[in-house]
Structure formats: C-alpha cells, structure tokens
Amino acid sequence: MRAYLAFLRGAVLVGMVYRLGFLFTALGNVVYMVVAYFLWRSIYVGQTSIHGLTFDQALLYVALGSTVFILLKTFTDWGMAQEIRDGTVAVFLTKPIDYQFYTFFTNLGFPLTSLVTVIAPTVILLVFFFRIHFDFGPGYLFFPLSLTLAFIISFHLDYLIGLTGFYTESIWGISITKEIIVSVLSGMLLPLQFFPAAVQQILAWLPFQAMYFTPLMMVTKPGQNVSVFLVMLGVQAAWTAATFLICRLAYGRAIQVLRVAGG
C-alpha cells in the first residue's frame, strides 16, 4: 500500500508542475457555466418548476455537472493507450506492482491537486453572480463519499477503454464514443428527470447514472430522507465492485495479448 501512496504523492507533485493548466480549465468551465445560465434561464421562462426541478436546482445541477466532469476526466484511457503503444507498459510489468492500482493512484493526482481550483470558481459564480438559492440537508454530508465512488467507477470505465489499447493501435474512436455515451446517459449534461420515463427506467439499471446523476442529486436535492441517500450510495458501491471485477477479468485477458503476441 505504501508503494501506491508513493505513486499518489508523485502524481500530486506532477499535478503541481502543471498547476497553470488547471487555471485555464477552471476558466473554461466558468465560460461554460455562463452559457448554461442563459440557456437554462430561457428554458425556464414562465415556469417555476420543470420535472420537479426549480431553475436554481437545475442550474446548480448543470454547473456542478460540468465541474465534476473536469475532476473525473483524467484521460486515463489515453495515457494507457500511449503507454501500451510505445511499450512503456513493459517497464511496469518488471516492477512488483499491480498495473490497475498503479494507474489509479497516478491518475488520482490530478483531481486531488485541482480540487480547489476547479470547485472554487463554480461556488463563487453560483453564490455571488447567479445568486441561486441553495437547499440544505444531509445530502451534502454524503456528497464527498458519493463523488469518490463516482470517480472510481469513472476510472474503471476509462481503464477498460485503456485496456483495448492491447488489441488496437488507436483507441481514439472508442474513447470518443464512450465520452458521448457517458455524457448523455449519466446525466452529466442534462438531469435524468428530463428523459422520458421509460428511458429513465433503463438508465437506472446502467452504471452511468452512478457517475454523475447520483452525486449531483445529493447536492441538488439535499433535503431528502437519509435512507434515500443510503440506497443511492449502496447502488454506487455495487457498481464500484462490479466494474472493479470486470476490470480484473479484462486485464487478465488483455495482458495475454502482450505476453503471448509480444510487444
């Protein structure tokens, strides 16, 4: 375990090297949120509530969605594909470490170092410029844990896409496709309440909602009963475990390609 904490420490240090990059990411997010503000205001003209969400709730949801996206977007799949393609992966295989855990902790450095720089502008914008009304409740307490689980599920998905690098020389198409599917089906761009009821039923059975919809709802509607949040966390935990197992199985198969066919 100490080894992986050392990787995390290294990753945080690397994160510091690229600190300027975060500022630009945060700046880009501010621009996006301003656009979202006007878009959603026009959607809510003449209405106080759509699909059970007030304008303030919808705006909070969408702004937070794009902010969480920055934290979850680690480019793990791109990094892995690069390592596999140029053969650096061989270096890791000669070390007494687990590739998945190594990849996880080295990619955790970026969201950890950028946590404040990414979240602070969002909060400032929502509180002082958009002046939205915040509901308060136990949801806020569960949010950090929910976000952590969301990060792990998102990582697992990226990791699986990264593993396809063992089979194909370019993961570009696969990665972009995944990106689009996730951004729509996870409720990152649009709260899932806005989807037709039948679609919502299907999405409830997919892992994507656990990446965005679940943590975002904890802050959007934080006043619900604690048991509601516990169920949400339970579902997230189940998806975390399930995707973890799939990752282990997939790695076992993918690595055979390298080991048998050579790199």
**CB of residue 256 to another protein, shortest distance in Å:** 8
Q: Please, which residue, 109 or 121, has the CB nearer to another protein? A: 109
20 binds another protein (CB under 8 A): no
Give the interface size with another protein as a residue count (CB under 8 A).
29
Q: ∠ at Cα 210 (3, 188), nearest 5°?
A: 105
The span of 11-19, 120-128, 203-211, 242-250 binding another protein (CB under 8 A) equals 11-19
Residue from 87, 115, 226, 248 in contact with another protein (CB under 8 A) = 87
Residue from 23, 90, 204, 206 in contact with another protein (CB under 8 A) = 90
Question: 3-class DSSP state for residue 236?
Answer: helix
CA proximity to 158, closest of 88, 207, 89, 205: 207
112 binds another protein (CB under 8 A): no
Which residue matches tokens 């059975």?
A: 205
259 binds another protein (CB under 8 A): yes
Q: Please, which residue, 138 or 263, has the CB nearer to another protein? A: 263
- β-partners of residue 54 are 49
Q: What is the largest CA-CA distance in the chain?
A: 64
Residue from 97, 132, 184, 190 in contact with another protein (CB under 8 A) = 97
Which residue matches tokens 């205001």?
A: 41
Residue from 17, 31, 45, 198 in contact with another protein (CB under 8 A) = 17
Segment 171 to 200, residues that bind another protein, using CB under 8 A: none
201 binds another protein (CB under 8 A): no
Q: Please, which residue, 6 or 124, has the CB nearer to another protein? A: 6
7 binds another protein (CB under 8 A): yes
Question: 3-class DSSP state for residue 53?
Answer: strand
Residue from 27, 93, 242, 249 in contact with another protein (CB under 8 A) = 93
Q: Indicate left, alpha or beta for 206 from its phi (over 0: left) and psi (-120 to 50: alpha).
A: beta
With beta carbons less than 8 A apart as the criterion, state whether 209 and 187 touch: yes
CA proximity to 82, closest of 201, 180, 11, 175: 175
Q: Please, which residue, 8 or 184, has the CB nearer to another protein? A: 8
CA proximity to 71, closest of 123, 109, 36: 109
Question: 3-class DSSP state for residue 50?
Answer: strand
Contacts to another protein by CB under 8 A = 2-3, 5-7, 9-10, 13-14, 17-18, 86-88, 90-91, 93-98, 256, 258-263
